[in-house]
Structure 1
Amino acid sequence: MSRDITIAAAAYPLDWFESWDAYEAKIGAWVAEAARKGGQLLVFPEYGAMELASLGGAEVAADLEAALAHVAGLRGRMETLFARMAAQYEVHILAPSGPVIEGGRRLNRASLFGPDGLIGHQDKAIMTRFEREIWHVDAGQGLTLFDTSLGRIGVAICYDSEFPLLARALAEAGAEILLVPSCTDTVAGYNRVRIGAMARALENQCVAVQAPTVGDALWCPAVDENRGAAALFAPPDGQWPESGVIAQGEADSPGWVIATVDLGRVETSRREGAVLPFEHWSEQSDAIRSVRIARENPGPI
């Protein structure tokens, strides 16, 4: 049975704002454009919320600690805005992730909103070196499966997409779509996340959606350079494009990448695919119980 859903992935530039009204105007324009083009699920990037550091002024934005604290302080206001946007346009939105401070712990959180308000959130599970060694952001606890009217959704924030067991746990819980908001400052970093997202789509026979930050924000050292391209990926099988790429934007080019996917194909792929990695996943455990070492004997030299 066909289950079409139109997904919009943002390649999102970080801007400087002189006022909250300017930020609201930007978000309103982005959401309105995606909705006008038929988007039902809108995906914003990792650390997209860090542009709110500009509202603290140049000195705050340029200081890692101060920028994080300032953006965390605006979290409630930002969530109110995205809840209103989701209700106004009757869409689902994964809002830009950003810092929250709970019980003295710093977390990198992405929240999902539907037309009726906040559905829930996912905290990043595994921190990069920058996050753990310099910014001192803490790992989130646990994973969330979002069971929505559009379909069952999991979120793997940037680096999390490079760890297959996280996505696997979400897929086994029922996830059909894996959202991968990202923030990377090099082409290599972008490609690590892109390859991770594609691999997770292959292994779990699901749709993966990458939404990156793009462009420069030199006024905030935490997010000063941003590289990437928005894209939707699928397992390269008979139900999907042979490349595994449903749609992909130009590198470092701001805007939405929008495509309609049939989630019914996820179930069909898992049942009838040319290969069945989702079903055969458990067979790995038998193969890896022991590792033999075969040494070459070079003989006399």
Structure 2
Amino acid sequence: MARLGLIQMTSGSSVSDNLQAIERQLAQLAKQKVTWAFTPENAILFGRHLDYRQQAEPLLQGPIQQKLAKLARRYQMWFLVGSLPIRRQNGITSSSILFNPQGERVADYDKLHLFDVEIADSHHRYRESATFTAGNRVVVVDTPLGMLGLSICYDLRFPQLYCQLRQQGAQVLLVPAAFTAVTGKAHWQILLQARAIETQCWVIAVGQTGRHPCGRETWGHSMVVSPWGEVIASLAQEPGCLVVEIDVKQIESIRRTMPVMEHTRFYNQLIEKKNPL
């Protein structure tokens, strides 16, 4: 059994304030003997276009990432930073970084699908592509928890990605997010359960919540969904932590008794196109 801690946040534009909030929660989780901690999308910075450009760092460089690595070492946890702005040769990506308890980067993932939509809320028009460049990699990483498939927020609406993650061996799907209050209420839990059922994977989904200084309102409701599609633990809309234990081995019996990946008529095509990106 693995003991996980999901840190639901209401992040703002102050990197130092967000880091302090994360550290307070990590300290509490360490007392509860949690060995894995997860933060939402925009955990380090939830601001406006210029804020991301000013604070972006090259991968594995800069004081923000140094601080995050130090936190992983201090609290001896596997630590997923849901997203922060990373400066690349072709622009800025919204990227997850996974640190091990030694503070080493084990994996990073750049958000593939950018949120360019119109929503019936006070913000109305979202154009993530005005700030970020889309990623081009499907990322699965082998860890003591299991094979982790990485994704971020709007990715959740694209089952093709999660099929690719399953084909590459994923057992646990990570979904750090900042779903809007409107879309979250309508679709968040449904989509998470669908991705779990389709892939027969555990889903760990940790979100931003509440009203943010930049004017956004997010849904929260962080949760863990079993590979059978059951919500085994969840939060409401207040910032805080969710501690839950999961047994990744449960996947084995579900996949054995209902071998959907063997039954799919598209199996060979998926293998041939294992990583089309």
TM class, shorter-length = 0.7 to 0.9
1:283 has 2:265 as partner: yes
Instruction: Indicate the RMSD between aligned Cα atoms, in angstroms.
Output: 2.4
| TM value normalised by structure 2 | 0.84
CA–CA distance in structure 1, aligned partners of residues 11 and 128 of structure 2? 24
Aligned to 1:61: none
1:28 has 2:23 as partner: yes
Gaps of 5+ in 2: 118-125, 269-277
CA–CA distance in structure 2, aligned partners of residues 266 and 87 of structure 1? 30
1:155-234 mapped onto 2 (5 Å cutoff)? 155-189=150-184, 191-218=186-213, 220-221=214-215, 224-234=216-226
Aligned to 1:295: none
- Aligned with 1:166: secondary structure? helix
Say which of 91, 96, 103 aligns to 2:89. Answer: 103
1:24-63 mapped onto 2 (5 Å cutoff)? 24-51=19-46
Aligned to 2:121: none
CA offsets 1:31-52 (integer angstroms, 9 cap, x no match): 111222232221110112224x
Aligned to 2:271: none
Closer/same/farther in 2, CA of residues 266 and 134 from structure 1, 3 Å limit: closer
**Amino acid across the alignment from 2:52:** L
Name the larger-Rg structure: 1
CA–CA distance in structure 2, aligned partners of residues 143 and 174 of structure 1? 12
CA–CA distance in structure 2, aligned partners of residues 65 and 206 of structure 1? 34
Using the TM superposition, give the Cα deviation of residue 27 of structure 1 relative to its aligned residue in structure 2, in angstroms: 2.2
1:6 has 2:3 as partner: yes
Larger strand percent: 2
CA offsets 1:280-300 (integer angstroms, 9 cap, x no match): 2x22579xxxxxxxxxxxxxx
Aligned residues: 257
Gaps of 5+ in 1: 54-63, 237-242, 287-301
- Aligned with 1:42: secondary structure? strand
Closer/same/farther in 2, CA of residues 201 and 278 from structure 1, 3 Å limit: farther
**Amino acid across the alignment from 2:6:** A
Closer/same/farther in 2, CA of residues 285 and 110 from structure 1, 3 Å limit: closer
Larger helix percent: 1
CA offsets 1:168-218 (integer angstroms, 9 cap, x no match): 111121111101001022232354343222111101111001100012122
CA–CA distance in structure 1, aligned partners of residues 204 and 165 of structure 2? 15
Aligned to 2:249: 264
| TM value normalised by structure 1 | 0.78
Aligned to 2:106: 119
Name the % identity.
Answer: 26
CA contact (8 A) 2:53 2:92 kept: no
CA–CA distance in structure 1, aligned partners of residues 67 and 82 of structure 2? 12
